Structures are given as structure tokens and as C-alpha cells.
Amino acid sequence: MAVANWSATCHGLFIISFLVIVSALFGTSSAQLNATFYSGTCPNVSAIVRSTIEQALQSDPRIGASLIRLHFHDCFVNGCDGSLLLDDSANIQSEKNAVPNANSTRGFNVVDDIKTALENACPGIVSCSDILALASEASVSLAGGPTWAVLLGRRDGLTANLSGANTGLPSPFEGITNITAKFTAVGLNTTDVVVLSGAHTFGRAACATFNNRLFNFNGTGSPDPTLNSTLLSSLQQLCPQNGSASVVTNLDLSTPDAFDNNYFTNLQSNNGLLQSDQELLSDTGSPTIPIVTSFASNQTQFFEAFALSMIKMGNISPLTGSSGEIRQDCKVVNGQSTTQAIELRSGSAEKTVNLEEM
């Protein structure tokens, strides 16, 4: 995907050009979703989402990164249908129990707060899957990143896909080839791999996600040679071999709570925290290298590309029209009581895996 180098000062022209490009990229498929879907039924939806996240950020500066990760992990499994938000029930094995999600996905309480506020303002109108899309844009914008016209009109799925979450989500331990294959499987390309990895410019990750790079990279018994030596030393102190795997540290060393292009400049200094991050630049001959280099030198270009890739990701197999439903409670399908879901969840096996957190 070519990324145009528009002037940041021509905001109005950018929005017009942006929407034209979005239309060209997604054709009739994106016509099912549109930016004005709730203009008549819940006109304050964006403001309600944003204000709820602003309040959450006062006590949890990493919540924005956590919310965008929920959207990412939702869309890669069953499409963008809110399936990740469902708890265990008699008929559902929750995706929350999948290895990439267990004890690491977070922000569900904020999603519930947003849903409650929206149900008070416009009951039965806004889907949980649309909440995730709106929360992602608000989280990025509030952290100093780009804004974009979020395409809306998704409906919520009636089931989850635990096995799909275990196999389809990119892992921080994987190389570029495997990660790109998982992106390709949902209609995303190499540019999208680099662009969406840039979301690691804010948030946190647990020791479990990079501990192998510190002591036994790829079974060698030695650290990852691409890891900056200063960063290696500090991480080995933070995450000793027999220490807690759940300790977290910043994904971006320089501006951990700001959305900027420092993620890419960090890679140029071998300061990518996760194996999957650093390989964007260190995998010799990879088509990702010139993209990383370009974004490291041009934040505006990264922001514009990020907005496009987020809309593209948000358009993965949405349920529209009469498909699915508008959940009253994001944790359960309509007709199942919250009490039942809580009882089933409390009786499920204890989760022990703690992976990438954001």
C-alpha cells in the first residue's frame, strides 16, 4: 500500500483525500460500515466513548494501549464481532482463556463502563464491536496520535472461537514469516504488519514475552545478539531467569505513554522489546526494513498509514444488517444472565499464562 505524504497543515484536504482512499481500498465491502452510522440514533457516541476513556486514564495510563489490543485480538478471530469480550457460558468457551489472551488482555472493565454509559444514553443501539473500534481511535488520539473517521455499523457475534484465538493471533515469539502469514490470512499485508506493530509505541509487556531473548534465545543458551547491550543488562535485572514472569515494563523506552514514531527509532537502536518487534528491522532482506526506516524519519507518514491500517483491520469480516445482535451486556449474548456467566467463569480453570500485555 502506497502512503501519500500529505502536509499536516492541510487538515481539511487530508480528511477528504483520506475518505476517498478508504473508499477505494475497501470498495463495496466497506459500504456496509460508515462513519455516520449512529448520527441519528446515538449522535454523542464518540464523545461518550472518549470521556469514559479520559476518566480511566487518570488512574491507569496504559489503558489506551490495552483497549486497542482488545480490538486487534478481537478482529483477528472471527472478524470484528466482539467475540473476545464474551465470558464462558454453557455454550461458549471464552477467547479470554486462549494462551495469547489469558491473564494479559485487560480493559474489559472500561469496555463495560462505556457500554453502561451508552445504554443510558441510547439503549440497544451501539454494538460492543463498534465500542472497541471507537475506543481504539479515542485511545490513540488521547495519547497524541492520529485521529480518523471510524467506520461503524458492526453487530456482535453470538459465539467465540477459543481454538482460533490460540492459533490465529500473532505471537511475540514469532518471526516475520509466520506473523505476515497470520496477517495475510485476514486480508492484511506486509505494510499493515509494520504499521499495526507501531501500536507498541505505548503500553507495557510482561517478562514472559521476552524472557527467552535475555537468556536462551532460540535455544542457544545465550541472549538474542540483536538486543541492545544496555537494554539487555537492565532487562536481565528486571526479569531474572527465576523471577516473576508477570513483571511488566515499557514497550517504548523513551515515551511509554505517548503515541508517536519512537517505536521505529527504537528498532534502529536495537531497542525493540519483543522478538516480533525487532525482527521487523533485523531480519536481513525483509520487505519490512524500508518501511520501518521510512516511518522512523517521518511521523506524519506513520500516522497517516496507521489510520488507514486501523480502518482496514476494523473491516475484517464485520457482521452487519440482520446478522448477529446488539448485545445489552458485552460479556454475554442476549438472553443469558450476567449471574450465570459469572458463575461459569468462576468455576473455570485458573489461568496461568501471562503474555504480552500493553
Query: Of residues 73, 106, 115, 331, which has the active-site annotation?
Result: 73
52 belongs to an annotated ligand binding site: no
User: DSSP letters of 92-146?
Assistant: ---GGGSTTTTTT---HHHHHHHHHHHHHHSTTTS-HHHHHHHHHHHHHHHTT--
Active-site residue 73, yes or no?
yes
* DSSP type of residue 248: E
| Cell numbers given for 321 | 444488517
Type of residue numbered 273: L
CB 306 within 8 A of CB 145: yes
79 belongs to an annotated ligand binding site: yes
107 belongs to an annotated ligand binding site: no
Q: Give me the count of residues in the chain.
A: 358
Type of residue numbered 45: V
88 belongs to an annotated ligand binding site: no
353 belongs to an annotated ligand binding site: no
CB 327 within 8 A of CB 157: no
What distance, in Å, lies between the first and last C-alpha atoms of the chain?
Answer: 27
Helix and strand numbers (H, E) in the chain are 15, 2
- Is 212 strand, coil or helix? helix
83 belongs to an annotated ligand binding site: yes
74 belongs to an annotated ligand binding site: yes
257 belongs to an annotated ligand binding site: no
What is the maximum span of the chain, computed from C-alpha positions, in angstroms?
Answer: 61
Q: Binding site: what residues are annotated?
A: 74, 77, 79, 81, 83, 95, 170, 200-201, 252, 255, 260
Q: Binding site for heme b: what residues are annotated?
A: 200
List residues with catalytic annotation: 73
Q: Binding site for Ca(2+): what residues are annotated?
A: 74, 77, 79, 81, 83, 95, 201, 252, 255, 260
Q: Binding site for substrate: what residues are annotated?
A: 170
